[in-house]
Chain A
Amino acid sequence: MAFNILIVDDSPAMRRVVRRVVDIAGVDVGNYLEAGNGVEALVVLRTEWVDLIMTDINMPEMDGEELLLEVRNDPALATIPVLVVSTDRSQGRVRQMISLGADGYVSKPFLPETLSLEMYRLLGGTPNESF
């Protein structure tokens, strides 16, 4: 089964790196979808099928926290797994995002294996042996 993955980050370079890690991990990806902030992400989510959202927190216009709340409060989107990928490693922030409904939290800098394992945990399956 191929998964559609939405990567939400205001840094195009970071979106590229996440895509690369996903590729190396051997996840069967149908489509990579990208957004530069929460507002753009919601537009994508309301027009495309998405199996996993990977989102940063600090972004202009709508940050990751607001995006998470919008997703969890929308019955059509509420069951999509959300993996937070952020530079903010404070325990207060991690606890807050999990309590708001995030399914996982990976802090930057991350090891490719860490991101890969979290993705497989949320999507099912086994990581590529190269990890």
Chain B
Amino acid sequence: MKASEFAGLISECCSEVLDAMYFTTVLDSQLKESMPEAEPDEADSLSFDLQFVGHISGHFGLHLAQATARNLAANFLGEEETDISSAEAGEVAGELSNMLCGSVMSRVEGDDKFVLSHPEPCNFVVRAGVDDVLISRLDTDNGAITVWVVIDGEPCRP
């Protein structure tokens, strides 16, 4: 399976997860050639990455502005945005990456089991054309979220 085949799934799964648990609506999604560089500013943004292992293995990640993470955390935790700390915004962004990846992989793997690693903050950049990668920008009513899927070369089992 190629990363490009995830395009529809990413949009569908992200909409479902963001709507159900973050009370956030995906307004538009676009495929991108590379990760955002200048926008949002790196100092004010968060990136998380986790590994998935199943019939298909690889990495799943997301990148979003701190302000977006704070909005999502407030919705997720049922708190006021002003009461959300940077650490809480990071925790919730990590959990979002876990839920998005789990949602996508459940559809991909169907009846088969898969394993997800713990989401970790990351600062690497993936680029279409270099890796087998799909990068998608989701515009939501709480800000933009960029997600990516990188497929490893060899299929393996959990």
Which A residues lie at the B interface, using CB under 8 A? 10-14, 16-17, 20, 58-60, 86-93, 96, 107-111
Task: Find out whether the CB atom of B106 lies under 8 angstroms from the CB atom of A107.
Answer: yes
Shortest CB distance B46–A (Å): 13
Given contact pairs A87-B101, A87-B116, A89-B106, A14 touches B95 in the complex (Cβ within 8 A): yes
Residue from the set A11, A16, A87, A91 with the largest chain B CB neighbour count within 10 Å: A87
Of B88, B92, B102, B105, the most chain A CB neighbours within 10 A belong to: B102
Is B156 part of the contact surface with A, judged by Cβ < 8 Å? no
Question: Taking the complex as formed, is B21 at the interface, i.e. its CB lies under 8 A from any CB of chain A?
Answer: yes
Using CB atoms, name the residue of chain A closest to B101.
A87
A89's partner among B77, B92, B94, B103 (CB-CB below 8 A) is B103
Within 8 A of A (CB), among B80-138: 88, 91-92, 94-95, 98-99, 101-103, 105-106, 109-118
Residues of B within 8 A of A93 (CB): 113
**Contacting pair B92 A90 (CB below 8 A):** no
Contact of B103 among A12, A14, A20, A109 (CB under 8 A): A109
Q: Is B20 a contact of A13 with CB atoms below 8 Å?
A: no
B113 and A87 within 8 A (CB): no
C-alpha gap A120/B95 in the complex (Å) = 26
Name 25 A/B residue pairs within 8 A (Cβ), A-sorted: A11-B94, A12-B91, A13-B77, A13-B88, A13-B91, A16-B77, A58-B102, A58-B118, A59-B118, A87-B98, A87-B106, A88-B102, A88-B116, A89-B102, A90-B105, A90-B111, A90-B112, A92-B111, A92-B113, A93-B113, A96-B113, A108-B17, A109-B17, A109-B21, A109-B103
Q: Which of B1-59 contact A (CB under 8 A)?
A: 16-17, 20-21
Bound CA span A10–B91, Å: 10
Determine the interface band of chain B, counting residues with CB < 8 A from chain A. Answer: 20 to 34
Structural contact, A13 and B73, CB atoms closer than 8 A: yes
- B116 close to A110 (CB less than 8 A): no
Question: A11-B94, A13-B88, A60-B118 given as contacts; is B111 within 8 A of A110 (CB)?
Answer: no
Q: Contact check, B92 vs A13: say whether CB atoms are below 8 A apart.
A: yes
A63 nearest CB neighbor, chain B only: B115
Closest chain A residue, CB of each to CB of B96: A13
Nearest chain-A residue to B100 (Cβ)? Answer: A87
Indicate which residue in B16, B78, B92, B105 contacts A20 across the interface (CB closer than 8 Å): B78
Q: Tell whether, in the assembled complex, residue A90 and residue B106 are in contact, meaning their CB atoms are under 8 Å apart.
A: yes
A87-B111 CB under 8 A given contacts A13-B76, A13-B91, A109-B17:
no
